[in-house]
Amino acid sequence: MVLIFRYGPRPAFIFKTVCSLRPVKTHSFAFLSLKTLSTMSAGAAKQDNKDLAPIFKWASNDGEFRRQDSSFRGVVSREPNATFRAEPGRYHLYVSWACPWAHRTVIVRALKGLEDVIGLSVVHYLLGDGGWRFDLPGEKTPGVVPDTVNEAQYLRELYFKADPEYSGRYTVPVLWDKKHGTIVNNESSEIIRILNTAFDEWSTAPGVTYYPKDLASQIDEVNTWVYDQINNGVYKAGFATSQTAYESNYAKVFDGLARVESLLANRKWLVGDRFTEADIRLWTTIVRFDPVYHTHFKCNGGTITHDYPNILRWARQVYQTPKIKETVNMMHIKRHYYMSHIQINPYRIVPEWDGPDLDIKV
């Protein structure tokens, strides 16, 4: 049986119960048909790698993973004539509990007390043929929060609504403007700064900032190398398709972790004496490191639990900060990585361990 779903000029997505993995191409946009993943051998995955469509082809031809730039870079402002003016109830945040980049935005939204100011929708943990989606009819997946704004089934619908000619990836997070019916921003590093300041008038923590001016240059400096070596570094190691690319990026990950471990030897937080954006940005990777990146992305040179005592202490401090624990959904995290990346884990087996016990008091 073959079901074809078409959204006007959108790509058609063909789903077969058992089929060869072949790209389906319509309107110059290619995606993969869905194969019965439990029957796909590692050898078959390797054979089909050359045909992987954009949504699953993570590495370039030289074996290196290169992250695409975000396409929507609008700013929410309190200025009266701003295109995206700060208003309560006007904006909506689309996230995945699994995604470390989206996780940043959920944390800042919670810390700033914006839960009643900015709405939230959460996609399903499985990243399939059509990209991120919400629950299908009949599904009631714990943690999924449906789209009550656009009633979208797939996140891609928002991207095409914002730009009918859009040809990039359909990523989370997405900050959506309900007034103009468009995407404001899909770059997590910019969204967290928007949430940090733009809505202070309605925040339950007005004046609290995670990007203080007196530490801004230091935060930027830490963010730069943490992103390259650790945040994105684990992906560059995990999605590498050549031994050379893997080994190079693997080394950078552990160089970065060693640098953080040393930095935290004599201080509580990464920058100055305060909990800042730099801590948030690193922490969403660290909380995923032992249960996911160590195994799934082959970053197996050490664990946070056993080899990085300063990072572990710091990770517990962050986790025990009010409101942060509630933003962690380990079921979504583990199932997303181990069940979505079939080129890495074709049998979709999800390991048991959730990583270190972060509830231990420090």
pLDDT tens sequence across 281-330? 999 999 999 999 999 999 999 999 999 999 999 999 999 999 999 999 99
pLDDT the model gives residue 63: 72
118: CB partners within 8 A, 6+ apart:
91, 92, 93, 109, 195, 199
Residue with tokens 């959506």: 176
Which pLDDT does position 58 carry in this prediction? 53
Angle between helical axes of 277-288 and 100-111 (0-180°, round to 10): 130
| pLDDT value at residue 83 | 97
**Burial (CB count within 10 angstroms: exposed 0-12, middle 13-18, buried 19+), residue 69:** exposed
Instruction: Report the pLDDT value the prediction gives residue 23, as an integer from 0 to 100.
Output: 35
Q: What is the dihedral of CA 338, 342, 347, 349, to 10 degrees?
A: 0
What does pLDDT average to over the chain? 87
Q: Which of 125, 210, 235, 337 is catalytic?
A: 235
How far lies 113's CA from each of 19, 176, 200, 336, in Å?
A: 48, 18, 9, 27
The Cα 325–Cα 320 span in angstroms is 7
Instruction: Name the active-site residue from 91, 99, 250, 337.
Output: 99
Coil, strand, or helix at residue 145? strand
How high is the pLDDT of residue 64?
A: 78
19 carries an active-site annotation: no
Distance between CA 124 and CA 134 in Å, rounded? Answer: 5
Amino acid at 167: S
Of all residues in the chain, what percent carry a pLDDT higher than 90?
80
Tell me whether residue 99 is one of the annotated catalytic residues. yes
Residue 235: what pLDDT?
98
pLDDT of the residue at 71: 80
Q: What is the C-alpha separation between 7 and 23, in angstroms, rounded? A: 18
CA 337 from chain centre, in angstroms, equals 11
Cα–Cα dist 256/222, whole Å: 11
- Binding site feature residues: 132, 169-172, 187-188
With tokens 């962050």, the residue in question is 318
Q: Residue 60's pLDDT is what?
A: 63
| pLDDT interval class at 65 (50, 70, 90) | low
Using an 8 Å Cβ cutoff, are 102 and 95 in contact?
yes
> Counting runs of H as helices and runs of E as strands, what totals does the chain give?
12, 8
The pLDDT value given to residue 67: 60
> Does position 2 have pLDDT exceeding 70, yes or no?
no
- Map out the domains of the chain with their CATH numbers: 2-51 (no CATH), 91-197 (3.40.30.10), 213-340 (1.20.1050.10)
pTM given for the model: 0.83
Is the pLDDT reported for residue 8 higher than 70?
A: no
Q: CB of 149 within 8 A of CB of 67?
A: no
- For the cut 70, the answer to whether the pLDDT of residue 30 exceeds it is no
